[in-house]
Amino acid sequence: MATRLTDTDVVVVGMGAVGGVAVLPLAQAGIEVIGLEAGTWLSKRDFAPDEIRNNVRDWPMAVQKANGEIPTSRATRSAPTTRAGRHPMMNAVGGTALHYWAQSWRLNPWDFKVVSETKRRYGASRIPKGSTVEDWPFGYDELEPYYDKVEYEMGVSGQAGNLNGKIDPRGNPFEGPRKRPYPMPPLRGTDFLEKMAASANTLGWHAFPGPASINSRPYQNRSACMYHGFCNQGGCHVDAKNSPLVTTIPRAQETGRLKVVTRAHVTQIEVDGEGRASGVTYVTDGVEYFQPAKVVLIASHTYENIRLLLLSKSKAYPNGLSNNHGQVGRHYFSHHQLAGVSALFPFSLNAWYGTPAQGVAVDHWADDNFDHAGLDFIGGGNLWVYSDRRPIAAASGSTWNRAPNWGSAWKAFIKENADRTNNSYLQKTTLPYEDNFVDLDPVAKDALGLPVCRITGEYKENERAIAAFIQDKMEQWYRAAGAIDVTKAPLGGAMGPSTHAYGGTRMGDNRETNVVDRWGFSHEASNLGILGGSVMGTSGARNPTLTAQALSWRTAEHLAKNFNAIASRRA
């Protein structure tokens, strides 16, 4: 029997990238919030520049609750099921935003209107077969103020490319109009990045520095980035990476209305006799607690959001909470980040110091920024070249069929070439499909004996066609910059677990095809809100975190403004 705790206004499940954001507008509005977090408090002292611990041994992820609930995956219903060795996400106050790359893009306006814009420009036949993609219930303009809010409240560095409709050639000319410039200038460049930018110009493309939730100068009394080179899968030793741990959570705590409970492993969302969320049950050190709340916000990563709903079965929701329309786990997709392109240059790139969010982008071939009339796909990809290298990875990379894999000839090769390679990061439009989904695995269990998520999914023709197209563009760019060798990874098959996981609790006006409404609240249990990538119906060609955070702020602000109505309304 769970110990019943004192009632609160709002309980938020997960103090990561999105839950850690929602608590601030709530607490500032005078609402009492309890934030439950499966992990612990970490500090900058925990974030050593140590490749063995961070990257070889996966320290950020190889700990705590998440690693017991690694999703299984299979390409199709009839394909064999496999399970990865680690979870893509970590547990801690601040969540995976502690060690992520911190690229903080806004989606392109097209991403909100994929269906209507595709029909308008190319005709209905161009929507890929079997895709369940829908327009978002609102456009870019609706989210713009919240993008702006998060960029300023948390701190994002970058170069505006479209200020109130006026194009600034230093930034991304394809971005949606923004009301204000970024609060900080972009992260600094390097000789190699500048060379890549100049090479893009020779192709008639436009290269620009990307946005990062990393301080390019001191911001909010925190340090600027030190470019030490261990940001990729590592936390920041000077608090310059702007996770909720160092931004929104401490400010929410200052109000006296946020209480963070760590090591709380949430197992179930509880409902009352009327099908309304009544609170959550969690386990700490084997002891079960029930935290009652007027409103429940779940803010885990996509897999855990889905799993919590599917595990929370009741009389009102026999197939899982908010799943009476069978939509929980549907419209799932993991971002097509694979199918990369690598290059070998005949000179050193001096990439030992830097951060993956420090780079140059080309957006000509993303979204609908180019004419698709003669092509066999919709959407596209963002080309990203960045500064990121660590010694073990540099030494153990490909020898490009130019040397054996060990011995003196290998040693001579890496001595010369360890700093001469570059891996591009190509994020591509990924759509939801009828037969890609997440459910509970019939066999695999977590440490508490609860089933883990099972991903059934594969990249389809549209995604593979984008990948092939984008790889060619990237090769062209590398060759223009003087690369002497270029390799392309396979176009992609099965969708494994990913940090960029979308859908499963999609947002939309139609309750037959979506789990949450346009404000992020359940169509079925109306005092249950859902935060994170799981509500996003399209991926765009760029990292999801800023969009998920903007949506989180918007949901929290809506809740704060309508608290009494939401806390008391009937399903």
Partner 1 sequence: MSVISRRDLLKRAGLAAVVPVAGVDVARAFETAPPAAAAGPAESLVAQPQREPREHLTAAESDVLEAVVARLIPSDEHGPGAKEAKAARYIDRALGGALASSRQAYGAGLAALDRYARSSRGAAFAQLSPADQDSVLIDVETGAATGFTGSSAAFFNLVRTHTWQGTFGDPYYGGNANFVGWDLIGYPGIRTVVSAEDQRRLERHELKPNHQSAYDTEMFNKATARADEEGLLRRSSRSAGSKAGA
Rounded least distance, CB 302 to partner 1, Å: 20
Neighbouring residues of 338: CB distance < 8 A, sequence distance ≥ 6: 467, 489, 490, 492
Structure tokens at 520: 């992020």
- Draw the binding track, 441-460, toward partner 1 (x: CB under 8 A; -: no contact): ------xxx-----------
Around Cβ 74, how many Cβ atoms within 10 Å? 19
Of positions 227, 290, 370, 519, contacts partner 1 by CB under 8 A: 227
DSSP strand pairing (359-362 vs 287-298): unpaired
- Does position 57 bind partner 1 by CB under 8 A? yes
Of positions 263, 313, 325, 558, contacts partner 1 by CB under 8 A: 263
Rounded-to-integer distance, Cα 486 and Cα 132, Å: 35
Rounded least distance, CB 29 to partner 1, Å: 31
Question: DSSP E strands: which ranges in 218-356?
Answer: 258-261, 265-271, 277-284, 287-298, 333-334, 341-344
Of positions 2, 7, 49, 177, contacts partner 1 by CB under 8 A: 49
Structure tokens at 434: 């009828």
Nearer to partner 1, 368 or 441 (CB): 441
- Does position 188 bind partner 1 by CB under 8 A? yes
- Draw the binding track, 338-357, toward partner 1 (x: CB under 8 A; -: no contact): ----------x-x-xx----
In sequence order, what are the beta bridge partners of 93? none
Buried b (16+ CB within 10 A) or exposed e, 281-290: bbbeeeeebb
Rounded least distance, CB 139 to partner 1, Å: 40
Rounded-to-integer distance, Cα 74 and Cα 69, Å: 16
Of positions 5, 29, 64, 185, contacts partner 1 by CB under 8 A: 64
Long-range residue pairs from 458-461, CB within 8 A, at least 24 positions apart, any chain: 458/75, 458/76, 458/493, 458/494, 458/495, 459/336, 459/430, 459/491, 459/492, 459/493, 459/494, 459/495, 460/128, 460/130, 460/131, 460/431, 460/433, 461/128, 461/376, 461/377
Nearer to partner 1, 39 or 379 (CB): 39
Distances 39 to 96, 337, 497 between C-alpha atoms, Å: 11, 27, 20
Of positions 77, 166, 315, 415, contacts partner 1 by CB under 8 A: 415
* Closest alpha carbon to 320 in 131, 466, 504, 78: 504
Around Cβ 177, how many Cβ atoms within 10 Å? 16
Of positions 32, 51, 441, 524, contacts partner 1 by CB under 8 A: 51
- Does position 198 bind partner 1 by CB under 8 A? no
Nearer to partner 1, 262 or 476 (CB): 262
Of positions 412, 443, 468, 565, contacts partner 1 by CB under 8 A: 412
* Ranges within 13-42 binding partner 1 (CB under 8 A): 38-40, 42
- Does position 419 bind partner 1 by CB under 8 A? yes
Of positions 128, 176, 183, 229, contacts partner 1 by CB under 8 A: 229
Nearer to partner 1, 272 or 419 (CB): 419
- Catalog residues that contact partner 1 under the rule CB under 8 A: 38-40, 42, 44-53, 56-57, 59, 62-65, 67-68, 91-92, 188, 190-191, 226-229, 237-238, 263, 265, 283-287, 348, 350, 352-353, 391-392, 394-396, 405-408, 410-412, 414-415, 418-419, 447-449
